[in-house]
Amino acid sequence: MCGIVGAVDRRDVTSLLTEGLRRLEYRGYDSCGIAVLQQGALRRVRSVARVANLAAEVAAANLSGMIGIAHTRWATHGAPVAKNAHPIFSSGEIAIVHNGIIENHESLREELQAHGYVFESDTDTEVVAHLIHRMWTEQAAQGAKDLLCAVRHALERLHGAYAIAVFARNDPGRVIGARAGSPLVVGLGEQGNYLASDVMALAGAVENFIYLEEGDIAELTLDGVRLVDRSGHAVQRDIKVHRASTHSVELGPYRHYMHKEIFEQPNVIADAIERVDTISADLFGQGARHAFREIDSVLIVACGTSYYAGMTAKYWLESLAKVATQVEVASEYRYRSSVANPNTLVVVVSQSGETADTLAALKHAQTQGHRHTLTVCNVASSTMMRQAEFQHLTSAGPEIGVASTKAFTTQLVALFLLALTLSKQRGRLPAAQEATFLDQLHRLPGKLNSVLALEAQIIAWAETFARTDHALFLGRGLHYPIALEGALKLKEISYVHAEAYPAGELKHGPLALVTSQMPVVAVAPNDALLDKLKSNLQEVRARSGQLYVFADADSRIASGDGLHVIRMPEHYGSLSPILHVVPLQLLAYHTACARGTDVDKPRNLAKSVTVE
């Protein structure tokens, strides 16, 4: 989603800003821009093309300056056209970039128009630019100009979420940053000080960071950084060292990050479980041992792929630990009036830890009276990790492709460990069973490698899927969420319309869609529901549907007329979903490649959805 970079430096900042935007590209955007203070004037270049084009335009326009701000925009208010791209200016005096949504922008717009401001864009951001300008000129009239103070007073008028970076034509040595609801970090360097919505933007440029807290406002100059809270009182925040590995954001021999990340799964899962030699609540942080004993139920809240990880975990938590579990989509839960049980463990699952709906759901749960909260997340420094009582880092490493792959399988590993932990605490995990599960976890990377070796067969299927407009995915029990995830992957990157159903539901409606033109993907592990699933597949064959089945080696399903089978390794018990999702990721990936879509940056989507 939108990305911010800002800089005050002893050198020209344009290359640092454009490189920062390049590093934020993975979040998804539809326009970008950069503004600097050059020879006493605000100058900007904005583009609806890629950051590489913007960099070329910046060079062609001879843009240079020692302070500047830059932005990748994912349109919310106003179409993705150049006039709505950030930086947004007010009166040639104030430049601003903004992530988030200002909910009261309409009333503020009317008020500012009444004061003579003319709006040039359709964005909610422009009201913030004009508000700051108004405060700034009012201060000037009183002979007391303080940009930080003008920004702070403008922010008092806003409802909604924001991270912003601002500078003023008349104040050449200063950039102001502020956050409420959207992340923003300050990078501290020897040559200057910087702002970014994600540490990744400054990877390689600085190693010392301050993670701004809710309501914080930062003033960056060459001499240092001043921090105040929303009331203007000075605040101190810890400096954290973050040595970003530039290696992990390089593509290497792969064409796309998604492909690279699918193939990284054996290694990242091996890393995630390397030090797990016993099941213990300590895997979830200090104090979890005591708190997990108190809980009598689990509520998992997440969005998208992370929600499907939660759905899978429900099966594990209820079957292994016998702990009643509910799973809810975060955007629904946060606005629903629910009955809080203080003995429920609320688990939020998120790759980024910044998804606005999931973060709001976590806060909502806390205000509703839920005492125990756990974040399962891939970004150690994220807001969700800081907000929850307990944390578990999934250790998948940076995931750049918009479609989540390795983050999902590492979430599944984390949630499986949670189910084993609760099971052990409740006396339901005998030592021999614990040893068997640990052994299976440690052998999982090897099993994943054998699944990845099926790629050539999957590429052959992808040719067919690339020519279709619709597909159905079927699964049962523990593998129903995997069917949902397979359908989501296919639709989001290849734009093939795909639906997933629990196979037993087919006859209650979706069977009407089945014709000889409809590919039906079935996830067919050799588990207790296999015979039921086989009957469901017969229902498809009887209507001439084309079946594409991922069958465990021991599930006795053979290829035949209209029945295409890829043979998976032998059934892998409770961990089977982690194996079965991988061929579905590959099917989506190769279908998208065959259709020539922008795999890593699918249309309309963003990596980290930091707005509602």
Positions marked active-site: 2, 607
Residue from the set 72, 358, 375, 409 that interacts with ligand F6R by CB under 6 A: 358
Cα Rg, the chain, nearest whole Å = 26
Residue from the set 212, 301, 313, 403 that interacts with ligand F6R by CB under 6 A: 403
Strands 3-9 and 67-73: antiparallel
Please give the Cα distance from 575 to 467 (Å, whole number).
33
What kind and span of H or E run contains 584?
helix 576-595
Q: Which 535-564 positions form the footprint of ligand F6R (CB under 6 A)?
A: none
Please give the Cα distance from 602 to 26 (Å, whole number).
10
Tokens 């594409």 sit on residue? 548
Closest CA to 317 of 442, 182, 412: 412
By CB under 6 A, how many residues form the interface with ligand F6R? 15
Q: Which is nearer to ligand F6R, 47 or 331 (CB)?
A: 331
Please give the structure tokens belonging to residue 150: 């003008």
Residue from the set 125, 197, 265, 404 that interacts with ligand F6R by CB under 6 A: 404
Please give the Cα distance from 587 to 557 (Å, whole number).
20
Contact in structure between 395 and 268 (CB atoms under 8 Å): yes
Tell me the residue number closest to ligand F6R, measured at CB.
Answer: 304
Distance of CA 220 to the CA centre of its chain: 28
CB 374, min distance to ligand F6R, A: 15
Q: Which is nearer to ligand F6R, 125 or 351 (CB)?
A: 351
Q: Which is nearer to ligand F6R, 46 or 489 (CB)?
A: 489
Cα separation values, 517 from 31, 514, 544, 606, Å:
38, 8, 8, 32
CB 311, min distance to ligand F6R, A: 12
585 interacts with ligand F6R by CB under 6 A: no
Residue from the set 423, 576, 608, 610 that interacts with ligand F6R by CB under 6 A: 608
In the beta sheet, which residues pair with residue 96? Answer: 88, 166
In the beta sheet, which residues pair with residue 97? Answer: 165
Please give the Cα distance from 70 to 61 (Å, whole number).
16
70 interacts with ligand F6R by CB under 6 A: no
Residue from the set 355, 421, 526, 546 that interacts with ligand F6R by CB under 6 A: 355
42 interacts with ligand F6R by CB under 6 A: no
Q: Which is nearer to ligand F6R, 137 or 387 (CB)?
A: 387
CB 399, min distance to ligand F6R, A: 8
Please give the Cα distance from 460 to 453 (Å, whole number).
14
Interface region with ligand F6R, contact rule CB under 6 A, candidates 16-24, 189-197, 344-352, 581-589: 344-352
Q: Which 274-333 positions form the footprint of ligand F6R (CB under 6 A)?
A: 303-306
CB 384, min distance to ligand F6R, A: 8
My answer on whether omega of the bond before 510 falls inside 30° of 0, hence cis, is no
394 interacts with ligand F6R by CB under 6 A: no
Torsion 196-201-202-203 (CA) sign: positive
Q: Which is nearer to ligand F6R, 352 or 526 (CB)?
A: 352
Secondary structure class of 297 (helix, strand, coil): strand
CB 242, min distance to ligand F6R, A: 19
Q: Which 468-507 positions form the footprint of ligand F6R (CB under 6 A)?
A: 488, 492
Q: Which is nearer to ligand F6R, 6 or 475 (CB)?
A: 475
277: left (phi over 0), alpha (psi -120 to 50) or beta: alpha
My answer on whether omega of the bond before 87 falls inside 30° of 0, hence cis, is yes
Q: Which is nearer to ligand F6R, 194 or 589 (CB)?
A: 589
Contact in structure between 610 and 2 (CB atoms under 8 Å): yes
Secondary structure class of 369 (helix, strand, coil): coil
- CA angle (74 as vertex; 125, 243 as ends), nearest 5: 100
Interface region with ligand F6R, contact rule CB under 6 A, candidates 291-299, 345-353, 474-482, 544-552: 345-353
Residue from the set 31, 193, 331, 351 that interacts with ligand F6R by CB under 6 A: 351
Q: Which amino acid is at 219?
A: E
Please give the Cα distance from 102 to 201 (Å, whole number).
24
6 interacts with ligand F6R by CB under 6 A: no
Site string for ligand F6R, 104-143 (x = CB under 6 A): ----------------------------------------
CB 360, min distance to ligand F6R, A: 12
CB 378, min distance to ligand F6R, A: 8
CB 566, min distance to ligand F6R, A: 22
Q: Which is nearer to ligand F6R, 6 or 304 (CB)?
A: 304
**Residues near ligand F6R (CB under 6 A):** 303-306, 350-352, 355, 358, 403-404, 488, 492, 608-609
